[in-house]
A and B are shown apart, each in its own frame.
Chain A
Amino acid sequence: MPSNRTLRLAAIGTLAGLFSGLFGVGGGTVIVPLLIFWLGYGERLSTGTSLAAIVLIGLLGALAQGGLYGNVHVVTGLLLSIPAIGGVVLGTAIQQRIAQRAVSLLFAALLVAVAIELVLR
């Protein structure tokens, strides 16, 4: 584990990019637990900061693919975003009302599902 705080953050960013590039998952999957383990973040702060980082990672990813070669279906994406945004508003509201350790347990369950999906590919 890197000793310097900024180095730890840089390592988390590099690992997030590495895993999302290799597997299509791994942005938040890596960021949230490493912020908890390496920087002593609480669950709520780690998930909120992860979302802010994902905005930037997604934008850089889109730029890196050169505007994605016309593969983005903008109208379909915007329409699907409506229920998805409803979900995230609800999810963040629920998260403020449950214990932080419950967030960790949910996250562990999600990681097990990710592992199963990876093995079954």
Chain B
Amino acid sequence: MNEVLAALIAVAGGLAGGLVGVGGGVLFVPALTVFLGLSQVQGESTSLLVIVLVALVGAVRQNGYGNVNFRDALVIGALSPLGVLIGVVVANEVPQRALELCFAALVLFIAYGLLRRALSTPG
């Protein structure tokens, strides 16, 4: 039963990846920890494997539809470790709770921007 639930959550994570272009880790980690018995560290590490495979297949499919700019993706991916390093420094200086609340406010602001744009432009 737990395996079935984990599989259903994985389908949902993959669907989210295909529909809106996220990795789906938010769903893969609980599928691995809550339903398949992995520890949090094991779940987060193992979810990276799932994310890479899902993103790879998703990117190949999207490329088939003409929806991938590989050059831009390369620049974004190549610079991400710099952000991870900055994150380590920031996490040591600012309380985690403050960071979470700031990021929550930021994603709400982005959501507002997407909504405003989607509702004001044709198509």
Taking Cβ atoms with an 8 Å cutoff, the residues of A that contact B are: 6, 9-10, 12-29, 31-33, 35-37, 39, 44-62, 64-65, 68-69, 71-74, 76-78, 80-96, 99-101, 103-112, 114-119, 121
Taking Cβ atoms with an 8 Å cutoff, the residues of B that contact A are: 6-8, 10-26, 28-29, 31-32, 36, 38, 41-42, 44-59, 61-63, 65, 67-70, 72-88, 90-91, 99-101, 103-105, 107-108, 110-115, 117-119, 121, 123
The SS class assigned to the B binding surface is helix
* Sampled A-B contacts (26; CB under 8 Å): A13-B75, A16-B76, A23-B103, A27-B80, A45-B69, A46-B21, A47-B19, A56-B73, A65-B45, A69-B45, A72-B46, A76-B36, A76-B38, A76-B46, A81-B49, A81-B50, A83-B10, A84-B28, A87-B15, A93-B61, A104-B114, A108-B115, A115-B105, A115-B107, A115-B111, A116-B104
Chain B minimum-CB-distance residue to A61: B48
A32 with B84: CB separation less than 8 A:
no
B61 with A89: CB separation less than 8 A:
yes
B51 with A72: CB separation less than 8 A:
no
B65 with A44: CB separation less than 8 A:
yes
Q: Choose among A13, A16, A22 the residue that contacts B91 (Cβ–Cβ < 8 A).
A: A22
A111 with B110: CB separation less than 8 A:
yes
